[in-house]
Amino acid sequence: MHAKKSEEQGPRRGRSFDSAYEEKQLNNEMNKVTFSRIDENQDNRSISKGRPSSSQKGGATIIFSLKNEIGGLVKALRFFQEKHVNLVHIESRKSKRRNSDFEIFVDCDSDHEQLKELSQLLRKHTDIVEILPSDNSTLPDDKTADAPWFPKKISDLDQCANRVLMYGSDLDADHPGFKDNIYRKRRKYFADLAMSYRHGEAIPHIDFTAEEVRTWGVVFRELNNLYPSHACKEYLKNLPLLSKCCNYREDNIPQLEDVSRFLKERSGFTIRPVAGYLSPRDFLAGLAFRVFHCTQYVRHSFDPLYTPEPDTCHELLGHVPLLAEPSFAQFSQEIGLASLGASDDAVQKLATCYFFTVEFGLCKQDGRLRAYGAGLLSSISELKHALSGKAHILPFDPVVTCNQDCMITTFQEVYFVSESFEEAKNQMREFAKTIRRPFTVCYNPYTQSVDVLKDTSSINSMVKDIRHELDIVEDALTRLNKHQKV
């Protein structure tokens, strides 16, 4: 879900409130209220750090309705200040219930008593739509008490998949579709579908418009002309399979449900629709469970070769073919597993490594450079640039790569090349060992959950499972030797 935004120049990042006056007033309060802004210099999918952790506080999401009146937002935010509640993320949107109202979406850190007092204040002056305390019951012991919350089973992704940093229907003023009311309405349709999705449900079937199919067709045709000479072997192997099994064609946009089933059979990955940008922590957490958060909307038709955000063209053409490759799927999952319970700084380093591999990575094959990063494989101009011989290319080394600046509005200043996915995976494993956590995690594919290895009991349990699998290997070798002797 980390996407290269444009063919030449990407978007400017930022948050805008619906009232210019309130934004001015809010800025005056900035020194009094802790408020995390979206970082304009981080990669496109991972644009905000996760919620700060505290052993004494828990996170909560509060959504309250605000009447369209001057000063209403500032008044509400003063309640957070009075109760010393730290605001981690905030955004506004039109109310889905009454057109005359606004809804304010707030992520905050607070203890139970603070949250109770705050909710009582807010109820007197606003209409609270929903309060969602983070479920910390999955972290019951002192080994994980100081760690940020993380999902422990695949259904837990329902708790973080909708924590989008920007609603999918709210477009920046410089977005190609900003003044197109029909396009904005269509984007809201896709956003609402994603926001209502829950684990275990079938991904809704989309009847794409003729205009959307034409836009997809332009991107599909132009990129397919480059793939034979620019894409890695694994990509070229899987793309025809997607054409056969999921109807990848110039005149047809594949359905995410079909793609998800295909990936499940090939590599164990599944697709989950998402309304917009997720934080690095929430996005990487999905990868830990072999879940790829995927947008379903199509870029604006004004310029099919430009998009200020990841869309279904980027996801389906850039990411999916390699997610079908078992070795690449394992590499992606291990980045996700390393992020669970890690500090904000560690998560950001992992997200940067993800950006320069899964999004913009290069590999060597038959003595030539080939692209495997989705940001490259979905961007015609940057794909050409990266393999032109003019780009600055360095060997992939997580220790070095994690400190590299991610360029959003221009081509990358440097690209990193790996000898193979296996080599990159081994490097990331070693890098993950340097992340400070009082525990490690292991994915259980049978239950689609993660086991927290935090004490001798949990480790012994894992050792028993390994011994059983080694018994199977030993039995297979014994039978093979007998067969060869015969």
Catalytic residues: 314, 319, 359, 378
Buried b (16+ CB within 10 A) or exposed e, 49-85: bbbebeeebbbbbbebbbeeeeebbbebbebbeebeb
Do residues 73 and 17 touch, judged by C-beta distance below 8 A?
yes
Residue 367 phi/psi, 5° resolution?
Answer: 80, 10
DSSP characters for 84-130? TPEEEEEEEEE-SS-TTEEEEEEEEEE-HHHHHHHHHHHHHHSEEEE
Helical packing angle, 344-354 and 280-288, nearest 10°:
70
Complete DSSP assignment for 367-424? TEEEE--HHHHT-HHHHHHHTSS-S-EEE--HHHHTTSPPPSSS--S-EEEES-HHHH
Query: Dmax over Cα atoms in the chain, in whole Å?
Result: 88
Confirm if 107 and 115 have CB atoms less than 8 A apart: no
Rounded Cα gap, residues 91 and 81, in angstroms: 17
Confirm if 52 and 42 have CB atoms less than 8 A apart.
no
Helix (H) or strand (E) holding 449: strand 449-453
